[in-house]
Structure 1
Amino acid sequence: MTQRNPRYFADPLVFDPLRWSSERKTDIVRNSYFPFGLGIRNCVGTHFSMLALAIVIAELAASVDLDFADKQPAVQATPTMHLANAMSATGSRI
């Protein structure tokens, strides 16, 4: 219930993926969001769900053809490579 508590999150019922961005990371109170529990009683399926998520994303990426509006994406080469800016794309099923 903490992830829906306005004491910990502004507009807790709004879908806001930018809430987890690196710029706003310090706004999150430690242990206020724990989808798999904490400590010795955490969810036994935590690692399985993360693996399943990676498989689903890989299957989705393999079955969708993306057409990017900007043909030259700017990539940031950090330890985890990601796009420097948001990109618009349309997807079509292969």
Structure 2
Amino acid sequence: MVPWTDDFLPQHVSIPSQYHCQVWAGAEMTLIDAVANSICAPLWRLFGGASNTIITDITIPIVSSAEAAELAYKYYKEGFETLKLKVSKNLKADIEVLQAIRVVHAP
């Protein structure tokens, strides 16, 4: 077992995880840096190397299924492969939006 996992920290640190987020983030970064130093690797290599590209998503707002399909097609043509959908309180309408988007955006 790696000593800095979630099993270890709560037993040895008396700060509830939902409080003092900055403290937890600082502790986590310190541990990650210690791991990188222990294997003589820079942080960028520890996290998978460098890249010249950034992968991101784009959001489709709450709109009709026709508008969502139109936006999905537009975004697909612009090169977006991942869509983030805002959902409404109407499950039936949300399902219709998903079905319309799959028609134009599915691989």
TM above 0.5, one fold? Answer: no
Give the structure, 1 or 2, with the largest relative contact order (CA under 8 Å, sep 6 or more): 2
More helix by share: 2
Which structure shows the bigger proportion of residues in strand conformation? 1
TM-score norm. by structure 2 comes to 0.31
If you compute each CA radius of gyration, which structure gives the higher value, 1 or 2? 2
